[in-house]
Structure 1
């Protein structure tokens, strides 16, 4: 005949189950917060095509700052972008608000006098030529 489990064993099982449940809930909250932060930062670092079209070399940084997004990206695609002009300070912005995919980037660069010196479009990661039409639109707007 099997003995019923003791009260201390039952309490221990409940504590283990509660600990596992709390850890799972904490994990869900952390992952959800991380995804939310990713979506927020990516969506708030997009330079819209119409704003890009208005960028002209020589424009003061104060005027350009009005159309730039709230945030800039933290991991710039410097391997896909041309070398920035010497003596400039560059800021990378996303060319699209899509999430969880590779997108192109726009890079306005400012000279030491606080004027827009150059702007470039870096293509997204992928096979050569794939998705280029999206960035040709940016180039058409800018010229």
Structure 2
């Protein structure tokens, strides 16, 4: 679940003075810059929009029943394009939702090569949806 917020209305330092590594960071500056996610407790930079909570049931290496459950629960159409790792490794169990540049929405595999296939093809290959990509797409479609 990603969280949105508005950017700060004033810069942290209004005096435009030179910054030095010896300068003390004030409690107010920390509060203006960071916040704690109320859902997962992670400290995040405010207003960057990139944080997404990893749910408690997230499994980085899914087992067969979990893969089947995620395939069956996939909310998106079977004929949508998805990204499959070009060189499937033994630990590949998920496909990714593409962005407008045909890279994964989650950016976890952005430095890898992918093939574009249909979601149905990915399911036939026993690949489950990437949970991060699903959450990002659901959020985008909800806006």
Normalised to the residue count of structure 2, the TM-score between the two structures is 0.26
Structure whose residues are more often helix by fraction: 1
Larger gyration radius, structure 1 or structure 2: 1
Normalised to the residue count of structure 1, the TM-score between the two structures is 0.26
